[in-house]
Amino acid sequence: MSILFTFPGQGAQRPGMLHALPSHPEVLRTLDESAAVLAADPLNLDTQEALASTVAVQLCLLIAGVAMARTLIAHGAFPDMVAGLSIGAYPAAVIAGSIDHRDAVKLVARRARLMESAFPYGHGMAAITGLDRYQLEPLIACTHSASTPVYLANLNAHRQMVIAGADAAMQTVMRLAVEHGASKVERLAVNVPSHCPLFEMAAEEMRSAFRDVTLQQPSAVYLSSSAARALRDPARIAEDLAGNMAHQVDWSETAQLAWESGARLAVEMPSGSVLTKLTTSAFADGLTICCDNLRIDTVLALIADVRGSQ
């Protein structure tokens, strides 16, 4: 049986998330590497005020994910597979051994600045629960236009979808979704319309940035949540990372793929428990946990139990 490390995307951030990381040499190493690249203290990124910036949010999720995963690995808890949602794909690629953390910091900072400058206001993402994609897609289609863009961005679970686009268009789809039986609609803490064609130009700029970075073949299985498949070729992983802001996410199929590939324990890196909840249905006969609400020794013991039952 295998271990899957999962890395959340934007919306999972919370104030103080970097300060809440364990006191461990691997956390300090990750913070020091990040500080050297940014020429600034990354611990200033996780305040309530700082997290209003997409740049701070995405850097915090990268740093927290890498730091926690490195801490577990230092105690012998290696992942067999990694998967990240949106920005979470970057720390996943770092932990898989495909990209150096310092390169990832540079790229994520650039990615976030591109996204923030392209849509500084008036756009975002919203979650819709209780409808499947075939019920939701017609509501999006009758709302979407050049002046009111809205897209199906994330297939998180069978009846948990995320839309992205202009605020007014999202509000219309949310209202229609409730009228058609949605049990919950929620504007997410995401200020950019990720995972839709609105970001194709920014993705092209990221592809150019990746030409200056050397990626390696991963040592752990890297699962793309955009393609819902394992990627091994460094060039394909680079394309996955560069382009994922403009591509739909299918977390439901990615989690199912991990299960079918032998994963029986999914461990979510900070912050929060969003992916733990979304992965539970695919791991109905396994276990999904998040580091945020467990002691490190408990997480290590659970990983050791799974390893011991192989």
DSSP structural state of residue 174: H
Q: Which tokens belong to 240?
A: 């996955």
Q: What are phi and psi of 160, to 5 degrees?
A: -140, 105
Catalytic residues, by residue number, are: 86, 195
35, 75 contact by CB (below 8 A): no
294, 33 contact by CB (below 8 A): no
Residue among 237, 224, 299, 297 at smallest CA distance from 267? 299
3-state helix, strand and coil shares in percent for the chain, rounded to the nearest 5: 50, 15, 35
Residue among 94, 28, 91, 19 at smallest CA distance from 61? 91
Amino acid at 66: V
Q: What is the rounded distance in angstroms from the CA atom of residue 141 to the CA atom of residue 166?
A: 14
Helix runs in 144-221, H state only? 167-179, 200-210
Helix runs in 19-166, H state only? 25-38, 54-74, 89-95, 101-118, 133-141
Half-sphere exposure of residue 246, counting CA atoms within 13 Å on the CB side?
Answer: 18
